[in-house]
């Protein structure tokens, strides 16, 4: 178990000290199944989202974009 002590200044020039403990291994064990499911959840939702987007919007000719539009397109596309 990891224990952390934190002293924080207050507006009236006094301080308050807070101590808290975290057992990261127990937290991880508790949420491990949810963590494991996230990769498949992300993949599934990304695929569903791609299908919905393609149905909602017209495909554009990216060669017709100006320089700033193309930069924005490339940034968004690199994150998707």
Q: Distance between CA 40 and CA 35 in Å, rounded?
A: 10
For residue 68, tell me if it sits in a domain.
no
Does 1 score more than 60 pLDDT?
A: no
For residue 67, tell me if it sits in a domain.
no
For residue 65, tell me if it sits in a domain.
no
For residue 75, tell me if it sits in a domain.
no
For residue 78, tell me if it sits in a domain.
no
Give the domain extent around 18. 2-58
pLDDT above 90: percentage of residues in the chain: 16
Output phi, psi for 9, to 5 deg: -75, 145
List, for residues 30-64, the tens digit of each pLDDT value: 888 888 888 888 888 887 776 665 566 677 898 99
Q: Distance between CA 44 and CA 78 in Å, rounded?
A: 19
- Region 65-73: mean pLDDT is 93
Q: Distance between CA 20 and CA 54 in Å, rounded?
A: 49
Q: How many domains does the chain have?
A: 1
For residue 80, tell me if it sits in a domain.
no
Say what the pTM is: 0.31
């Amino acid at each position: 178990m990891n224990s952390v002590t934190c002293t924080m200044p207050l507006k009236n020039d006094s301080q308050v000290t807070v101590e808290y403990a975290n057992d990261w291994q127990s937290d991880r064990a508790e949420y491990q199944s949810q963590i494991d499911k996230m990769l498949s959840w992300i993949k599934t939702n990304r695929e569903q989202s791609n299908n919905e987007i393609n149905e909602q919007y017209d495909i554009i000719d990216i060669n017709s974009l100006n320089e700033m539009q193309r930069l924005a397109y490339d940034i968004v596309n690199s994150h998707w």
